[in-house]
Amino acid sequence: MAKISVIGSGGWGIALTILLHKNGHELTVWSFDKKEAEELKITRENKAKLANILLPEDIVVTDVLKEAVTDKDILVLAVPSKAVRSVSKSLKNIVKDKQIIVNVAKGLEEDTLATMTDIIEEELKGKNPQVAVLSGPSHAEEVGKCIPTTCVVSAHNKELTLHLQNIFMNPAFRVYTSPDMFGVEIGGALKNVIALAAGIADGLNYGDNTKAALITRGIKEIATLGVAMGGEQSTFYGLTGLGDLIVTCASMHSRN
* Residue-by-residue pLDDT tens, the chain, 256 positions: 999 999 999 999 999 999 999 999 999 999 999 999 999 999 999 988 999 999 999 999 999 999 999 999 999 999 999 999 999 999 999 999 999 999 999 999 999 999 999 999 999 999 999 999 999 999 999 999 999 999 999 999 999 999 999 999 999 999 999 999 999 999 999 999 999 999 999 999 999 999 999 999 999 999 999 999 999 999 999 999 999 999 999 877 766 6
20 touches 28 (CB < 8 A): no
255 domain-assigned: no
What angle (nearest 5°) sits at the alpha carbon of residue 146, between those of residues 142 and 147? 55
5 touches 30 (CB < 8 A): yes
Q: How many CA atoms lie within 13 A of 152 on its CB side?
A: 26
**Are 47 and 171 in a shared domain?**
yes
Tell me the pTM: 0.95
- Catalytic positions are 191
23 domain-assigned: yes
Residues 6+ apart with CB under 8 A from 44: 54, 55, 56, 57
Reduced to 3 states, what is the DSSP secondary structure of residue 21? helix
Range of the domain at 193: 182-250
Reduced to 3 states, what is the DSSP secondary structure of residue 205? coil
106 touches 189 (CB < 8 A): yes
**Are 128 and 242 in a shared domain?**
no
256 domain-assigned: no
**Are 112 and 17 in a shared domain?**
yes
Q: What is the pLDDT of residues 52-81, one digit of tens each?
A: 999 999 999 999 999 999 999 999 999 999
153 touches 161 (CB < 8 A): yes
The count of domains in the chain is 2
Domain final position from 142, 177, 212: 177
What residues pair up with 119 in beta bridges, in sequence order? none
Q: What is the CATH number of the domain that holds 233?
A: 1.10.1040.10
